[in-house]
Chains A and B, each alone.
Chain A
Amino acid sequence: MIGRGFPKAPRSYICPSCSRSFKLQSRRHATAASPDVYDVVCVGGGPAGLSLLTALRSSKATSHLRLALIESQDLERARTWNLPPDQFSYRTSSLTPSSLSFLSQIGAWPNVDTSRVQPYRHMRVWDGLSSNSRISFDALTSEPPIASMTENQNLSRALITSLDDLPIISLFDKTSVADIHLGPPLSFPAESPTSLDLSSYPHVTLSSNHTIAARLLVGADGVNSPVRTFAGISTRGWDYDRHGVVATLKLPPGTGHSRENPQRVTAYQRFLPSGPIAFLALPGDYATLVWTTTPPQATRLKALSTEDFVAMVNAAFRLDVVDLNYMFTLDSGQVDELEWRESVHPGNKADLGGETPQHIASVQEGSIASFPLRLRHASTYTTNRVALIGDAAHTIHPLAGQGLNMGLADSRSLASAVEHAVLHGADIGNEIACLDRYNEEMWMSNNRMLGAVDKLHWLYSATSGPVVGLRGLGLRTVDALGPVKGWFMRQAGAL
């Protein structure tokens, strides 16, 4: 259960002697100067932050910690989020099997509306500049699906519902962080022999003017993380000069893979020189689109009429790059161009036995959006009493669909590090005793994933003949070597 503001019964996990002295102190000097101390204060109520709190609450060892969540949005809206079954949010993510197992383990998965989740067992990836360079991934029916398409809001709602069922946490929603600073140094001589030294504890001043102190401050507060700024952690990376265009696509009625044959549901991705375009099935006759492209082309796409936008999407999975580039120069008339090009190359028209996605019929109104793509990686995830998770720690190109999965993996790792520290009587805010475990486990593996995805982006932006030939050879080789392909699949699914 989530309680608003300060709960009446503080459930702090501080070692018994400290907590006793803290209670004594607060009784003795009940002044505005002494802040409320929490074990874990999480800034940011996105999937990463919410899953961390759920994980901490659901584990026996950490369930008694005093937790606080600070979120600038109204969480009530996320809790009551509800869309009719014929509408889907364009903000979707593909959850890997290991993310699913983490969500089940913390008890959040049963709260996800699975009628809105679409698992897929097949994947077709190919090169826009040489269409015979392709790779296919097929999970056997005995194996778990490659990934499950889930709306981010469906996941957030499930996490909030799970938290509601668990012991109370302090929630400060519709509240932003006004300031973060360290506590005052202990005056000397101490006012009392038992007074707490909070000088190393981050103190968060809220927009409501309350100040709370954190034994461990977690930054799950996104790309421009105030917690990261407070901790003085630098980030490295670059902007891709690309935008991700997302939309909810509608298929012709009754043609959705999921209805006909749930085992055949396939995800498609074609690498165009401007960036990959992905078609990811949703339940029923719906799919989600993620199209990475240059900012001018993204602007053009958003300005097109619905019919022309649909034609562009259909063209992007079928036509040559030269045709696409030409169609991007037009203000309208893409429908006509697509029709003509498909009549010239009838081979493109057939969906080649599921090798390309079916033609889309329409796009859900108001569902086209775009966002800039970048790579960022914090130089470390932890300093004394501070840990960063999710987008605050890393931002990744969406071509492998790993962003949310990496955030959930951070939560799992940090929660287990905290659990380990609690079980061993260590300070959860201490780097050596607790946080280093998290940093060591996640930083390098996230860095590897960021690097691999970044290299794929650059490799597939190249248009020169020899590069296209070599990458095609590489892709076909991996496709032909079953065990190597399996290894790649496990790498992508392991996060």
Chain B
Amino acid sequence: MEKTLPKIEIIEKYCKGCHICVEFCPKDVLEMKGFYASVKNLEACIKCMQCELRCPDFAIKVITE
């Protein structure tokens, strides 16, 4: 079965660059690009939603089907 990839939306206006999403992602999907978090490797995402759950700034949304 083909793996469906989620859409990870990062709202830069809200992101304060705290690194929480990057550090607690178990699959190393995210990275810091300058001040903001950004998606590095979407293929590895397992939709665990840890980044969305932990982001204190409401800046990440993991949109799955």
The judgment on whether A and B are partners is no
Chain A residues proximal to chain B, CB less than 8 Å: none
